[in-house]
């Protein structure tokens, strides 16, 4: 109940601070006999790791995951899988100036107030470094879902005010190729170039900017999601909102849907055709009706606020409540969304894996 676990049946618990010994995750509830591909886990971590390009933080971490338990002769055994990622490049000195001062729009003030103590180095537990553990766990979830044919794809659909057009390609493999061919991770190459130029300018300004990640889940069977509180989109929403810097979530028609009329918004059912089951003509429902997946593509968006650490002077207060001034040091992202793509996919995989098992239990 202290909040460091997520999921019911496919359940993860993460631990670790930004500049401590290590971060890591325990997965309790991964079914047995899933082949574990350590290289795949690493490739997922590499998409999130710092130091990838000029538009991400220059902090260097190899982010190498070690498997401590739960895997035997290359397969899961049904027992807890412990994944450990040692911390390497912890220039804690960069954070000495934070010891007694609260950075604006960071969690320094709230952690100090709540706990009466905090590991101030690099944000400690509140650092987005924690999400590396999620990505490692999400990779295991993906390996599980792959067996079921479920595919998850996220990309940067907005950086600041630059929006990508809707994706028209249906092949996840192809989409990943396009996305990974540009450093901002947008599936539309033309928009990607615009975004990169924009973010680089923001970086040069010593400033930061927000953005959005859009996600699609393909081949999810009908029936995942539990009424009435654990609706599939409610759990997806919680998962996404638990990611650092996320300020908004919507699915299907989303916020735009609230301006539509029912006659336009309703997704008319279409009889089965060939090997396809019942489908809908449109998909404003985003693949979820009454909180339960209906077999159509699940679609959602995640809105990220701008990174709080900026390279200019800001007013703030110190631990005693006195006025103070602070300026960002260290190495930070001008925009988190390129690295957040892997986190969004990981959390989506964890939610779907969890609801898969929950649905299985009652079949």
Q: Of the listed pieces 45-53, 54-62, 113-121, 189-197, which binds a second copy according to CB under 8 A?
A: 113-121
Restricted to residues 162-201, the positions that interact with a second copy (CB under 8 A) are none
State the Cα–Cα distance between residues 249 and 351, nearest whole angstrom.
15
Distance of alpha carbon 135 from alpha carbon 138, whole angstroms: 5
DSSP 52: S
Q: Provide φ and ψ at 235, rounded to 5°.
A: -75, -35
Query: Judged by CB under 8 A, which of 192, 196, 220, 292 binds a second copy?
Result: 292
Known binder of ligand: residue 129? no
Q: Does 297 bind a second copy (CB under 8 A)?
A: no
Per CB under 8 A, does 68 bind a second copy?
A: yes
Stretch binding a second copy (CB under 8 A), from 6-14, 36-44, 145-153, 185-193: 6-14
Is 79 assigned to a binding site?
no
Q: Which stretch, 53-61, 114-122, 174-182, 189-197, contacts a second copy (CB under 8 A)?
A: 114-122
- 234-253: contacts with a second copy (CB under 8 A): 234-235, 237-239, 241-242, 247-253
Among 42, 53, 64, 79, binds a second copy (CB under 8 A): 79
Reported as type and span, the H/E element at residue 189 is: helix 189-204
52 binds a second copy (CB under 8 A): no
Residue closest to 25 by CA, chosen among 38, 45, 11: 11
245 is in an annotated binding site: yes
Please report whether residue 65 would count as binding a second copy according to CB under 8 A: no
CB of 119 to a second copy, least distance (A): 4
Binding mask 88-107 for a second copy (x = CB under 8 A): --------------x-xxxx
Which of 160, 197, 200, 218 is in the footprint of a second copy by CB under 8 A?
A: 160
Q: Judged by CB under 8 A, does residue 147 bind a second copy? A: no
Q: Count Cβ atoms below 10 Å from residue 130 Cβ, excluding itself.
A: 21
Q: Judge whether 351 and 152 are in contact, CB under 8 Å.
A: no
In whole angstroms, the minimum distance from the beta carbon of 52 to a second copy comes to 20
Residue 218 β-bridge partners? 151
* Alpha carbon distance 354, 346 (integer Å): 12
Residue 204 binds to a second copy (criterion: CB under 8 A): no
- Residue indicated by tokens 């002077």: 313
* Residue 78 burial (CB count, 10 A): 13
Q: How many residues does the chain have?
A: 363
- Interface with a second copy, residue 3, by CB under 8 A: yes
The CA dihedral of 50, 34, 218, 132, to the nearest 10 degrees, is -20
- Nearby residues of 88 by Cβ (< 8 Å), 6 or more positions away: 60, 61, 62
* Interface with a second copy (CB under 8 A), residue from 56, 98, 126, 191: 126
Nearer to a second copy, 252 or 338 (CB): 252
User: Any contact of residue 305 with a second copy (CB under 8 A)?
Assistant: yes
Nearer to a second copy, 84 or 196 (CB): 84
First to last CA, the chain: 28
DSSP-assigned states of every residue in 317-354: EBTTS-EEEEE--S---S-SHHHHHHHHHHHHHHHHHH
Residue 133: CB atoms within 10 A of its CB come to 26
Stretch that binds a second copy, among 16-24, 37-45, 50-58, 174-182 (CB under 8 A): 16-24
What is the C-alpha radius of gyration for the chain, rounded to an integer number of angstroms?
Answer: 21
Residue 150 binds to a second copy (criterion: CB under 8 A)? no
Q: Beta partners for 246?
A: 304
Tokens, residue 128: 């987005």
Q: Is 338 among the residues that bind a second copy (CB under 8 A)?
A: no
CB of 203 to a second copy, least distance (A): 11
Q: Is 48 annotated as a binding residue?
A: yes
Binding-site residue set for NADP(+) = 48, 54
Binding-site residue set = 48, 54, 125-127, 244-245, 290, 305-309, 331
Binding-site residue set for FMN = 125-127, 244-245, 290, 305-309, 331
């Amino acid at each position: 109940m202290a909040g460091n676990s997520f999921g019911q049946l496919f359940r993860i618990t993460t631990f670790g601070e930004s500049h401590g010994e290590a971060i890591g995750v325990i997965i309790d509830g991964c079914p047995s006999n899933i082949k574990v591909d350590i290289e795949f886990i690493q490739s997922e971590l590499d998409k999130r790791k710092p130091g990838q390009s000029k538009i991400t933080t220059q902090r260097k971490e190899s982010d190498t995951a070690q498997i401590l338990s739960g895997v035997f002769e290359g397969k899961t055994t049904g027992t807890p899988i412990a994944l450990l990622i040692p911390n390497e490049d912890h220039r804690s000195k960069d954070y000495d100036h934070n010891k007694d001062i609260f950075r604006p729009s960071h969690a320094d003030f709230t952690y100090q107030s709540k706990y009466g103590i905090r590991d101030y180095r690099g944000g400690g537990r509140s650092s987005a470094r924690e999400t590396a553990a999620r990505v490692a766990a999400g990779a295991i979830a993906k390996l599980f879902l792959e067996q079921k044919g479920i595919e998850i794809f996220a990309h940067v659909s907005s950086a600041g005010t630059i929006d990508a057009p809707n994706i028209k390609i249906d092949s996840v493999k192809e989409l990943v190729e396009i996305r990974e061919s540009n450093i901002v991770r947008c599936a539309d190459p033309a928009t990607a170039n615009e975004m990169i130029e924009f973010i680089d300018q923001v970086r040069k300004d010593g400033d930061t900017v927000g953005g959005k990640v859009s996600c699609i889940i393909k081949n999810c069977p009908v029936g995942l999601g539990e009424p009435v509180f654990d609706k599939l989109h409610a759990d997806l929403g919680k998962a996404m909102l638990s990611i650092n810097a996320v300020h908004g979530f919507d699915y299907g028609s989303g916020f735009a849907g609230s301006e539509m009329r029912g006659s336009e918004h309703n997704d008319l059912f279409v009889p089965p055709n060939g090997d396809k089951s019942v489908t809908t003509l449109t998909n404003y429902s985003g693949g979820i009706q009454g909180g339960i997946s209906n077999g159509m593509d699940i679609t959602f968006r995640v809105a990220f606020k701008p990174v709080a650490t900026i390279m200019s002077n800001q007013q703030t207060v110190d631990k005693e409540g006195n006025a103070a001034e602070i300026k960002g040091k260290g190495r930070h992202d001008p925009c988190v969304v390129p690295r957040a793509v892997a986190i969004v996919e990981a959390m989506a995989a964890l939610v779907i894996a969890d609801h898969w098992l929950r649905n299985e239990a009652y079949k």
